[in-house]
Structure 1
């Protein structure tokens, strides 16, 4: 067991040291400037954002949350009564699909007008 711990410490130490020496450091003004989502960081900070950007971000979070809610479903199928788990998963999928169809029919997913 001690050999395992020593090898783990040795490998992680070697990898940490190599990660400091391996990268090529060639800084320039473009690399050193902060990235501000496509906006010029030296311009005015009061530029208006597009509502489409926020809509796409919220839809991304919504579908990301769907994955988090559906993740335990394979384990729930192994329970004594898997019908309840599958029905809840189906309800979640149906509600999100209906919301997606509504957004699509309203034209909210069109990026360019």
Structure 2
């Protein structure tokens, strides 16, 4: 008997959820929202705009250095485990690699905004 009541309640909830989903405001088709460009681009203009290579390079460098900083965070938690000499050596090598990477990008001209 209890099982039948639970099955009936489950069926009622499924039917109610389906009806509410079909009648919600989200089902109203909006011409602007159904357009393929929702990120501030005008869908009526040409979609083949020139892409800024400098912006791409700076964004890529930012992501690389952002991940590198996330790799530095565990050094805080292992401060209690490592002795100060090995902690300083590990931190120094890691930061030295970051600085060398930054100088390499600078020498390659990836950080220059002017063409």
TM-score (norm 2): 0.56
RMSD: 2.4
Give the structure with higher Rg (CA).
2
Q: 2:93 aligns with which of 84, 91, 94?
A: 91
Number of residues of Structure 1 aligned to a counterpart in Structure 2: 80
Shift of 1:56: 0.3
8 Å CA contact 1:77–1:86 kept in 2: the answer is: no
Gap runs ≥5 in structure 2: 1-37
The residue number in structure 1 matching 2:81 is 79
Shift of 1:82: 4.8
The residue number in structure 2 matching 1:68 is 70
The residue number in structure 2 matching 1:104 is 106
Higher relative contact order (CA 8 A, sep 6+): 2
Post-superposition Cα deviations, 1:23-63, rounded to whole Å, max 9, x if no partner, equal: xxxxxxxxxxx543xx5453211222121111000111011
Q: Distance in 1 between matches of 2:45 and 2:114?
A: 25
Partner SS for 1:55: helix
Shift of 1:65: 0.7
Shift of 1:80: 4.3
Structure 1 residue 47 corresponds to structure 2 residue 49:
yes
Gap runs ≥5 in structure 1: 1-33
Partner SS for 1:44: coil
The residue number in structure 2 matching 1:58 is 60
Partner SS for 1:52: helix
